[in-house]
Chain A
Amino acid sequence: MNRSVVSDAGSGVAFSSRAALWMGVVLGLCLLVTGRHGLAGEAEPLIADPVIEARMAALSEELRCLVCQGQSIAGSDSDFAKDVRREMRTMMENGRSDAEVVEFLVQRYGDFILFRPPVKGATLLLWLGPFILLAIAVAVLVISLRRRGRRAAAVTLSSEELHRAESLLEEKGDRKDS
């Protein structure tokens, strides 16, 4: 018992050190890549206003980059994302609200630019779908449980079966005695 615990712990250590090595390699590669970007790319001007920067950071995470669709506007280095960020900053500096900025972008690029699609006719199934599926699953579960319960209760023995059962029990009892 004790030995197995010790060997488990040992393999745990081995695993984590290997994982650490891999993490190191991946991190190194990341640094390499970003380091090169840092040299090649041009930094975006930071606006002195930290409030606008905070709003930018929050809002641009909610927007999809259309040319690199897995990424947000905040996370993408594409020209498209840079243009959108520049436009957003300009609008915010001019005192436009977040809602106005979003509306501006949706007018041009459609709802697709939003990571969270708005609730409306075309997206109703998208929003309600999971709940509908859940309701169906619960209904199926309830019905099948009930059916099973009824089947279990419905098992009644005929007098013949009862007699046989009794005789079997008796037989067993006899054998024990002997």
Chain B
Amino acid sequence: MISVTCPNSSWYERLNVLSDIVKASTWGLLILLAQVVLAPVLEIRGIRPDLLLIFAVSMAMRRGSHAGLAAGFLTGLAQDALSTGFIGVMALAKGTVAFWIGRWHEKHEGAISPFGWFILLFIAALIQDFLASLFLLQGSPVGIVEYLWFNILPSGLYTGVMGFLWALAPIGRRRSERSTPVRIR
């Protein structure tokens, strides 16, 4: 007679969560590197897409608001650490946007079309950059309307387009077609 001992299921769950965190962190670091180094290649007339926002929103959509908040906050913090602006600004903006998108998706679960990704990321980028510019433009002679027109809007559109392409890519399609998000609570 063979007896099989099943390991504790909660132990498995923890291992899965840990493996997910390691995977997400690796992706986050790679995307941060891409955002920093590939920026000149991706740049069009001084405007760049926010790849880290796509990552944070993607995490929020797939894993829920908590994971979105963590991804947004940490990638935003990394952005802040490398930037010449205030530390904490992008962490606040990105974390907040990813969290509320996660909350929204938890209430309205379902697949999102590539065009839906475009709209979602465009709006997310606008809100994030608007929030950040409230801090970054303090004392600056550049007005918010001017900055909105020349930086925030084009950057949001570019991020939206990249989100659209991300949703069309096989790996992104798998994510956008997943109707029930697997959440880390």
A and B part of one assembly: no
A residues sitting closer than 8 Å to B (CB atoms) are none
